[in-house]
Structure 1
Amino acid sequence: MSSIKDVAKHAGVSVATVSRVLNDKGYVSDNTREKVEHSIKELDYTPNEIARTLFNKQSKTIGLIVPDIMNPYFPELARAVEDTATKLGYNVILCNSDGNTEKEQRYLDVLLQKYVNGIIVSSNTLNVNQIEKLNIPVVSIDREISKGLPTIVVENKKGAMMATHFLKSKGCTRIAHIRGPHAIVNAEERYGGYQEVVGKETWFKESYIANGNYDMETSIEATLELLGLHPEIDGIFAANDIMAIGAIKAAYQLGKRVPEDIAIIGFDGISLSKATIPELTTIVQPIYELGETATTMLVQLMERQPIEETYRILDVKLVERHST
Structure 2
Amino acid sequence: MKKNITIRDVAKEAELSIATVSRYLNGKGYVSQKAEIKIRDVMNRLDFKPNEIARSLSNKKTNTIALIIPDILNPFFPELVVAIEGVAKERGYSLVLINTQEEFLHSSGFWRSLESRYIDGLILASFQFTEEVQKGMENIKLPFVTIDRAAGENNNNSIGIDNYKGAKMAVEHLIEVGCKNIVHISGPKTYPSSSDRLLGYIDAMKERFPDQKAFFYEGNFSLESGYDLTKQLIIENKGYDGIFLANDFMAIGAIKALKEMKVNVPEEMAIIGFDGIKLTEMVDPEISTIKQPIYALGAKATTRLINIIEKKENQNLYSKLEVRLMKKESTLGFKKNKGESTFD
Contact 1:100–1:125 under 8 Å retained in 2: no
Task: Tell me the alpha carbon deviations over residues 97-131 of structure 1, each in whole angstroms, 9 at most, x when there is no partner.
Answer: 22224477544323322332211112214434333
* Structure 1: 5+ residue stretches without partners: none
2:61 is aligned with 1:58: yes
Local SS of the residue matching 2:244: strand
Partner of 1:69: 72
**Structure 1 residues 165 and 146 mapped into 2: Cα distance closer, same or farther (>3 Å)?**
closer
**Per-residue deviation at 1:144?**
2.4
Q: Distance in 2 between matches of 1:14 and 1:266?
A: 65
2:206 is aligned with 1:221: no
Root-mean-square deviation (Å): 2.0
**Structure 1 residues 105 and 184 mapped into 2: Cα distance closer, same or farther (>3 Å)?**
farther
Q: Distance in 1 between matches of 2:25 and 2:324?
A: 49
TM-score (norm 2): 0.88
Identity %: 41
Contact 2:63–2:119 under 8 Å retained in 1: yes
Partner of 1:255: 262
Corresponding letter in the other structure for 1:170: V
Q: Distance in 1 between matches of 2:270 and 2:155?
A: 40
2:145 is aligned with 1:139: yes
**Structure 1 residues 132 and 155 mapped into 2: Cα distance closer, same or farther (>3 Å)?**
same
Q: Distance in 2 between matches of 1:229 and 1:201?
A: 23
Partner of 1:38: 41
Local SS of the residue matching 1:152: strand
Local SS of the residue matching 2:160: strand
TM-score (norm 1): 0.93
Q: Distance in 2 between matches of 1:254 and 1:154?
A: 34
* Structure 2: 5+ residue stretches without partners: 332-344
**Per-residue deviation at 1:232?**
1.6
Q: 1:204 aligns with which of 179, 201, 213?
A: 213
Corresponding letter in the other structure for 1:92: L
Task: Tell me the alpha carbon deviations over residues 70-103 of structure 1, each in whole angstroms, 9 at most, x when there is no partner.
Answer: 2111121122111111111111111112222447
Structure 1 runs of 4+ aligned residues shifted over 6 Å read: none
Partner of 1:100: 103
Contact 1:140–1:150 under 8 Å retained in 2: yes
Q: 2:183 aligns with which of 163, 176, 188?
A: 176
**Structure 1 residues 146 and 130 mapped into 2: Cα distance closer, same or farther (>3 Å)?**
farther
**Structure 1 residues 105 and 236 mapped into 2: Cα distance closer, same or farther (>3 Å)?**
farther
**Per-residue deviation at 1:203?**
3.7
Q: Distance in 2 between matches of 1:146 and 1:18?
A: 48
Partner of 1:242: 249
Task: Tell me the alpha carbon deviations over residues 22-64 of structure 1, each in whole angstroms, 9 at most, x when there is no partner.
Answer: 1111121111111111222233332212211221111111121
